[in-house]
Structure 1
């Protein structure tokens, strides 16, 4: 068949783009054409007739004969946020014709390394890793990522993995600070003094920048607490804060939704009405759009992370590393904007 002159397709990512079909689905087709819908198969095969592209099937099959497993390591599966993003990533991995192996580090650096050692033993095709961050053994993670294709999401560590995908804290915190300032008193920032998650430091910095941009005086409320029991810390330290009744404002922006959920409970126990109405004494907002945030009382105003986009880019990146066996040299970093979610608490 005579092929039309068309743009040169260099890799499967380019081919998926011109097909108008997701990269995982295209990858699944090349693994087993019968595994995709008939209409999708026809669309892909029409594109193959049109464009000068042939995947490196030998390299792909060599990888797949060795393993069809992709490791997925998250900090803590008891956190519904990580459970939700893991489910999304697992589905994308399965759609691409691979087997996801989900492991939790349970908030501990030793378990994080044990997870990677377990994966190393079965020679996975690649690994998607949300590292603990500050508590991680960065040198050991870097060594692992030089041996096995690795992509980071949620938390970034320099010199670990071929790519990182996460949220744009400057943008997302800026959006909610603007909203709170424009609808009431400027917010204080409620956080743990020594956060376990590096994103908390970025959010602190973003809060200070946003308040300075608006010409407002920033106020940090840094409370005691370590580990992943954010709700308990928010409740315990929030109860102390409410009992003292010396807040410089009636608006509190929490570093994450789980701290905000604890603070909401503390306000209820302290007889403080939270909300946007004139009868409310306190406004509380968070960050992440945690799966439980819409079911608090009142429901929590927050900023949602675009974890669908983060998941899709992370899976696309690891598939590219697996299928091309190419290390790009320069780490790819992409940050995604958050979306303000207005609810009853602020």
Structure 2
């Protein structure tokens, strides 16, 4: 930094101020530094800087799966918001494994991150290392709620499942439920939300058997479970899947069985999902689903985290659930 400041012809504090927050220096100074960065290729070592600071500008993000489009989009939105606020997000994946989640927590601690946004694993209880991390830095959970009182932002499963069960019951036969493996608390929350919605419409809850395994291979689980269900004479004529990736596997199973998926007298079965996966509009047929508001989840989570980082009083609900929207397509 000293060498670069000399190269630019400015003081080190001014250059350091720019790298901490480009908007904090005058426009002419900012343009001068940016030209020098482009010419020299200089980049500050953020991790070395962290070791010297009591309060850093690095944020940690832990997600359970880097290939899932929901988490890819959530991460992209978090990164955009963090950078606009002058923070550098450092993203790690637990890959659905509690040991890797513990390792990711340790890495964030070694980087002295200022705060973190975490999608936790665990269907019944949170990782004890996360509890210790909570005691050290501001932390906000997203998507899958923790088992204790902490800031959380996610989708209101009760509202979204009531919404789609209502539509499916009114427009045809009541849906059977094809769930997801118990990889986090969302699995049970969605199962319970489906059962509650069916009870509200005075319909019996019917569950399609899924393999008793903990896996993120949702498409395979959906395909295998739906194939087994369709092999029985009285297979369900309407199926609501816990998420769109489960539904993709179910769609393949129906196609392999020679069934026409869709809504109408000429269709054999209806299949619906949840989440509005980016590929759901391109499935065959396009998938009826419920859209989660990825951008709003990221915005509210970052708002909560930044307020905590700045020591400001938190506004709104500590445990915030956002509404979803019904997306009608040809599969149901």
From the superposition, tell whether residues 136 and 95 of structure 1 become closer, same or farther in structure 2 (CA, over 3 Å).
Answer: farther
Q: Which residue of 2 aligns with 1:228?
A: 216
Select 1:276's aligned residue among 263, 281, 284: 263
Select 2:91's aligned residue among 77, 99, 102: 102
Select 1:337's aligned residue among 303, 323, 328: 323
SS in 2 for 1:223: coil
SS in 1 for 2:250: helix
User: Shift of the alpha carbon at 1:285?
Assistant: 0.3
Once the two structures are superposed, the pairs formed by residues 134-149 of structure 1 within 5 Å of their partners are 134=123, 137-149=126-138
User: Shift of the alpha carbon at 1:313?
Assistant: 0.7
SS in 2 for 1:176: helix
Cα distance in 2 between the residues matched to 1:225 and 1:83: 27
Cα distance in 2 between the residues matched to 1:37 and 1:301: 51
Cα distance in 1 between the residues matched to 2:26 and 2:61: 27
Once the two structures are superposed, the pairs formed by residues 239-250 of structure 1 within 5 Å of their partners are 239-247=227-235, 249-250=236-237
CA contact (8 A) 1:135 1:196 kept: no
* 1:78-103: CA deviation from partner (whole Å, max 9, x where unpaired): 11111111111111111111101011
User: Shift of the alpha carbon at 1:222?
Assistant: 2.6
* 1:153-174: CA deviation from partner (whole Å, max 9, x where unpaired): 00111337x4101111110000
SS in 1 for 2:209: strand
SS in 1 for 2:331: coil
CA contact (8 A) 1:112 1:136 kept: no
CA contact (8 A) 1:191 1:221 kept: yes
- Indicate the RMSD between aligned Cα atoms, in angstroms: 2.8
Q: 1:156 aligned to 2:142?
A: no
Cα distance in 2 between the residues matched to 1:218 and 1:34: 56
Q: 1:290 aligned to 2:281?
A: no
Under a length normalisation based on structure 2, what TM-score does the superposition of the two structures give? 0.81
User: Shift of the alpha carbon at 1:148?
Assistant: 1.5
From the superposition, tell whether residues 113 and 135 of structure 1 become closer, same or farther in structure 2 (CA, over 3 Å).
Answer: farther
The runs of 5 or more residues in structure 1 that have no matched partner are 1-27, 39-62
Once the two structures are superposed, the pairs formed by residues 165-176 of structure 1 within 5 Å of their partners are 165-176=153-164
User: Shift of the alpha carbon at 1:133?
Assistant: 2.8
Aligned residues: 292
Cα distance in 1 between the residues matched to 2:74 and 2:161: 21
* 1:109-154: CA deviation from partner (whole Å, max 9, x where unpaired): 0111100100101110110001113276532211111111111000
Q: Which residue of 1 aligns with 2:73?
A: 84
User: Shift of the alpha carbon at 1:64?
Assistant: 6.8
Q: Which residue of 2 aligns with 1:181?
A: 169
Q: Which residue of 2 aligns with 1:113?
A: 102
Q: Which residue of 2 aligns with 1:311?
A: 298
From the superposition, tell whether residues 331 and 276 of structure 1 become closer, same or farther in structure 2 (CA, over 3 Å).
Answer: closer
Select 2:119's aligned residue among 130, 140, 160: 130
User: Shift of the alpha carbon at 1:219?
Assistant: 0.9
SS in 1 for 2:326: strand
CA contact (8 A) 2:77 2:298 kept: yes
Under a length normalisation based on structure 1, what TM-score does the superposition of the two structures give? 0.78
Cα distance in 1 between the residues matched to 2:253 and 2:295: 32
Cα distance in 2 between the residues matched to 1:142 and 1:163: 13
* 1:309-335: CA deviation from partner (whole Å, max 9, x where unpaired): 1111100111111111x687x981110
CA contact (8 A) 1:109 1:137 kept: no
User: Shift of the alpha carbon at 1:177?
Assistant: 0.2
Q: Which residue of 1 aligns with 2:35?
A: none
